[in-house]
Amino acid sequence: MSRPWRIEFEGAYYHIVSRGNERRNIFRDNNDRILFLDILGKTSERFEVEVYAYVLMDNHYHLLLKTNKPNISQSMQWLGTTYTRRYNIKHKRIGHLFQGRFKSFLIENDQYLLRLSCYIHRNPLRAKIVNRLVDYPWSSYPRYAYGKKSPEWLCTAPILSRFDAKDKNKAYREMVQSYSREEKRLWEDFRHGLFLGSEQFIERIKSRYLSEKPDVEIPQKRQVLRDTDPETILKKAARALKCNISDFLPSARISNSHKLNRDMLIYLLWSTGWYTNKEIGELFGLGYSSISRRVAVMKSKISQEDTINNQLENIKSLIKV
284 contacts 266 by C-beta, under 8 angstroms: yes
Tens digits of residue pLDDT in 157-201: 999 999 999 999 999 999 998 887 666 555 545 554 577 777 788
The domain 228-319: what is its CATH number? Answer: 1.10.1750.10
| Helix or strand (DSSP H, E) at 67 | strand 60-67
pTM of the model: 0.66
pLDDT, average across residues 227-245: 75
Distance of CA 271 to the CA centre of its chain: 25
Distance of CA 164 to the CA centre of its chain: 32
* pLDDT for the residue 252: 56
Pairwise CA distance, residues 72 & 84, whole Å = 18
pLDDT, average across residues 59-78: 95
Pairwise CA distance, residues 35 & 32, whole Å = 5
The yes-or-no verdict on residue 51 having pLDDT over 90 is yes
What residue spans in the chain does CATH classification 1.10.1750.10 cover?
Answer: 228-319
List helix spans (H) across the chain.
30-47, 72-91, 113-121, 123-126, 141-146, 157-160, 168-177, 183-186, 199-209, 219-226, 230-241, 256-272, 277-284, 288-304, 306-319
Determine the residue type at 25: N
* 87 or 209, higher pLDDT: 87
- CATH 3.30.300.30: does it fit domain 12-209? no
User: Chain-wide mean pLDDT for the chain?
Assistant: 83
What residue spans in the chain does CATH classification 3.30.70.1290 cover?
Answer: 12-209
146 contacts 177 by C-beta, under 8 angstroms: no
Pairwise CA distance, residues 135 & 141, whole Å = 10
Picking from 111, 121, 106, 115, the residue whose alpha carbon sits closest to that of residue 196 is: 106
* pLDDT for the residue 27: 97
| Helix or strand (DSSP H, E) at 229 | none
DSSP character string of 138-164: SBSHHHHHH-----TTB--HHHHTT--
Find all residues with CB under 8 Å of 226, minimum gap 6, and list them: 214, 274, 275
Distances (CA, A) of 224 to 24, 38, 209, 211: 31, 36, 11, 12
Pairwise CA distance, residues 259 & 248, whole Å = 7
* pLDDT for the residue 308: 82
The yes-or-no verdict on residue 224 having pLDDT over 80 is no
Would you place residue 110 in the very low, low, confident or very high pLDDT band (cuts 50, 70, 90)? confident
Would you place residue 97 in the very low, low, confident or very high pLDDT band (cuts 50, 70, 90)? very high
* pLDDT for the residue 12: 92
Tens digits of residue pLDDT in 128-164: 999 999 999 999 999 999 999 999 999 999 999 999 9
315 contacts 237 by C-beta, under 8 angstroms: yes
